Structure 1
Amino acid sequence: MAKNRTGRVGEQIKKELSVLIQNEVKDPRIGFVTVTGVDVTSDLSQAKVYLSVFGDEEAKSASLKGLEKAGGFLRTELGKRIRLRHTPELIFKIDESIAYGSRIEKLLGDISHEEEN
């Protein structure tokens, strides 16, 4: 039953953070960022926020630094929007699963192309 609650809280944090990053954060280092997932610990003390950033490695690191700098603001705004006793600490991580998936897709395409020849 507790697993269900952490999932719901994670989805709500994901939804609210997406809106906050798009509309409220004014840091110029933050580029086009998409929140791909949120994993919340069972005691709701920490939330790992997985981000997909459009751009090269430099843009990814700049966006990550900007979001870490705005972490206090984002946590405060989350506390106002989501009624929890304690707002989870936000830990930002770059989600490499999209790039990994496209690389696997390319490799599979290359293999099938070689088999045809």
Structure 2
Amino acid sequence: MTREFSRSLRISQEIHKEITIILQKKINDPRLKMMITISGVEVSRDLSYAKIFVTFLNEKRNLDTIHDELRILKKYSGYIRFLLGKNLKLRITPLLDFFYDSSLKKGEYICSLIKKINTVVYENKVI
């Protein structure tokens, strides 16, 4: 009988869930002004590293604030790793590295282009 999910995928899902809870309940830094959501987690094959992809809701489209928020999250990565190690029963708690996921921004941009195309098509009555 084959497994449907690999061990690293299951662990990345658990890390995703636990870090979401940690960010909501344990990190209360006033410098983190935007709401942080975890969009994905990638774990290395040996489970020693994890890439955490985050998006910021209510972002002001300013790259400086995004970089500031990422810098703050990277400073908290040791504390988040400590809490993660207490909640997950793993032999090795992976080192965490946070990255900005711009797919939400790109999706909004593509939607705006499609809306512009639709308005031009309907104005010229070409269907």
CA distance in 2, matches of 1:40, 1:70: 19
- Where does structure 1 differ by over 2 angstroms across 4 or more consecutive aligned residues? 56-59
Q: Confirm or deny that 1:6 pairs with 2:12.
A: no
Q: State the aligned residue count.
A: 117
Greater mean deviation of Cα atoms: 88-97 or 3-12: 3-12
Contact persistence 1:30–1:64 (CA under 8 A): no
- TM normalised by structure 2 equals 0.85
Tell me which of 92, 101, 105 is aligned to 1:99. Answer: 105
Counterpart for residue 116 of structure 2: 110
Residue 89 of structure 1 is aligned with which of 84, 95, 100? 95
Match of 1:43 among 43, 46, 52: 46
Task: Note the alpha carbon deviations across 1:5-30, whole angstroms, 9 max, x for none.
Answer: 11110010010001101111122222
> Which residue of 2 is the match for residue 15 of structure 1?
17
For 2:92 and 2:29, how far apart are their aligned partners in 1?
Answer: 26
How well do the aligned residues superpose, as a CA RMSD in angstroms?
Answer: 1.6
Q: Percent of pairs identical after alignment?
A: 33
Is 2:88 the counterpart of 1:52? no
State the partner residue of 2:73: 67
Return the index of the structure with the highest Cα Rg: 2
SS in 1 for 2:32: coil
Q: Which has the higher helix share?
A: 1
**Deviation for aligned residue 1:62:** 2.2
Instruction: Please tell me whether residue 76 in structure 1 is matched to residue 78 in structure 2.
Output: no
